[in-house]
Structure 1
């Protein structure tokens, strides 16, 4: 929809407010309602937004190690831009107009802290190389009975999933909460986040859904909005949804797998597909996989951003920790899915559902492009058995502390994302490590259960 068409809809609509949001470094959407007169002015002139959103963590505690903003700067306004292409209306809020934004036109924040701007930059580099990146993220998440207040009052004990038992792909269990399933599918469609599929997953109260693929920036927008929308729709049913990577050590974790392919700029040819190859994999696809495997250990915090993330990456339960790839092998870090020209793609299985989609999708694309630029040979043989056991090919860092230290010192990370971003982001991950409370066994649930 063109800009003037969007403005006409809002002018003619029977509403006085607009909802607007930007993503912080954790992928949490921070937003506000604004009068539509202010919106019309902001379309051309931008919108002031307190830069504290880049100076605090997911619990609103101000960083003490941030240089870009803090008490020492007085937390001034940053200049947010409204991304007109993200326009949609919220069906569960009387069709209130909604927009995402970023800080791409504010030089202080664009390169160092704005994750959406970083993704735009990487996507632009891809197109300059002749590649149109087509992506989608799929999510697994747990759902619990009760309100946020009730769950917090229980100190996150005796949590009651919306369904009992380990019922993956269960038609029976999805019927138990048919109204919730129906609202998720239909309301997300109306909110311009169409789902390719949705089903119960292994674990009590677990659902998995895949958002239909799109250009990478639109796919990341939809991924962030998907998580927020699911939580809001869950509230309507007296449920709470959590996207924690591993809320319970005895249950499977929650993946945020990233499907990806590169097409020509007209989106007519899948450049990962080669009809003449025995595997149907092009040389470009092989370079891309080699880039992912090379870069993964250097940039892991962008795929596993919290201490809790590493409880999922334990080598089993559908979450990889080895530097492996295989053809249609779900035990590997990289699952190659060669098929038809339309469907040939890669699934990166390392990310959890607790990611910032702008960072996770951007990091995946940047790593793949690194492989193409440097024509990295795919020297690691494909895994045909259990990839969790193939530790000889390399193993990912097993804690956020180790992964952050490696990224902070990485020449590859600085090349892919720029020194300003790497410095700020790794400082925030160091801070995140420091927030652990060894005297409180529930600290991860209190911190990540609802917000992340």
Structure 2
């Protein structure tokens, strides 16, 4: 393999402020102040420093008024990637940090249709189900639909998909001095339920049709507008109709570290809420909603694109705009994140491929996902340059220097239903194992053909189990096996069709 690293991630220019000062200065731009640029650690920048205005490099905090409260959604991700949490009144920025917001962690153990719940976590069985604190990441505070704000949180560290992902990214950095830049590209179905509870797509099968795309342009315009309000802003690279009835695809721009998963999680939430609240439509990331063999088209995917990069060492200063031009350092003079040795990238890719069977349990987390298999999606753990049938596709990055430079990869295993935090976490864990073991040999095997097979593979994979944690794996597997049982019961004992069983369990909720 000829593997290269990603382009340099964009660093932000910031000046640290106290919470009180940041609150008082909300949305006030000071164009003449000196700033320092920290470019040594992209991961820490994104997770420890507030967002900035690109034109002025001045810190911006959302405008919460001290003269009246505003409502803030405290949101965490459950196993299925659904937004869970509480709505709370907040008067000041300080309250975002000091407020005690709690959540019963049993919400992690709900099935996608929350009418069913699995009681498998030993920490809470017999203890009265004590609260878990919701820990807000205040730099994700963003305006939200319907007024007020939302902030992303972690709750119950051993069960929180976002918390597990952050921990894995830090482990990867500590061991290798490397980070990951990534982006998800989601397909989803837009439509609504009929009175007979059948999903009726918003449009027919018309792949890449501009005529059909224009019919949903108002929805797309609203989505792009709301994405731009997020902290940091979310960017869609394209929007297109895909090879399914009512199917749209929304690839995201790449982002470093946890931000890529945050963007994907938020995009799903925005799409579902906008469709419901403003367009009287149901958007679903269930991989397969229709089984009309003539017209249903392909199932929905959630491809994961990624590159690796080395963190630079040391901190460099960028002169203020007040200084003369000859005092400024050009972008070429500042040391960018270093290119990763192709050999290490090859080890990373080999690690991911060798753990593909276990990764399938989080990349294809529900029975409908397995209807994708063989439809522009992999059936074995192979690699191919610009090969859309391979498990990992080497891509020509549009930002690459030089014709055909291969430094950006697409894992085609994930479905649209996959939790982005778990995908990112598991991929990094598998790749890190490849680097640790200097893996070069990949034994080509078939990927699991069912969720049950994938869960067996996950439980048998000690590396991925250790990365996710025994408590998480036990709970996750219990929830997923309960899903399988519920669907099979509906089909076998209640004589429901597979389409009806999927509709009840997944379509509205995923």
Structure 2 alignment gaps of length 5 or more: 1-13, 25-62, 313-334
String of CA shifts for 1:365-394, please: whole Å, max 9, x gaps: 1111111111100456xxxxxxxxxxxx31
2:283 corresponds, among 241, 254, 263, to 241
Equivalent residues in 2 for 1:33-432 (5 A)?
33-37=87-91, 40-41=94-95, 43-44=97-98, 46-60=100-114, 61-70=116-125, 72-90=126-144, 92-94=145-147, 96-103=148-155, 109-111=156-158, 113-128=159-174, 129-144=176-191, 146=192, 151=193, 153-156=195-198, 159-164=199-204, 166-191=205-230, 192-235=233-276, 236-249=278-291, 250=293, 251-266=297-312, 268-269=336-337, 271=339, 282-313=342-373, 315=374, 317-338=375-396, 340=400, 344-379=407-442, 393-432=444-483
Partner residue of 1:10? 64
Q: How much does 1:343 deviate? A: 7.4
* Matches of 2:261 and 2:504, distance apart in 1: 26
Q: How much does 1:69 deviate? A: 3.0
String of CA shifts for 1:90-148, please: whole Å, max 9, x gaps: 2x323x12101002xxxxx312x11111001110012111102111111001111x4xx
Q: How much does 1:252 deviate? A: 0.3
String of CA shifts for 1:180-224, please: whole Å, max 9, x gaps: 121122222223322121111112221111121112211111111
When residues 211 and 68 of structure 1 are mapped into structure 2, their CA distance, relative to the original with a 3 A threshold, is farther
The question of whether the paired residues in 2 share the 8 Å contact of 1:253 and 1:319 is answered with no
Give the SS at the match of 2:211.
helix
The question of whether the paired residues in 1 share the 8 Å contact of 2:75 and 2:85 is answered with yes
Q: How much does 1:335 deviate? A: 0.5
Q: How much does 1:56 deviate? A: 2.2
Partner residue of 1:448? 506
The question of whether the paired residues in 2 share the 8 Å contact of 1:301 and 1:403 is answered with yes
Which protein shows a greater Rg? 2
When residues 425 and 205 of structure 1 are mapped into structure 2, their CA distance, relative to the original with a 3 A threshold, is same
When residues 292 and 40 of structure 1 are mapped into structure 2, their CA distance, relative to the original with a 3 A threshold, is same
* Matches of 2:127 and 2:181, distance apart in 1: 39
Compute the TM-score of the two structures, normalised by the length of structure 1. Answer: 0.85
Compute the TM-score of the two structures, normalised by the length of structure 2. Answer: 0.76
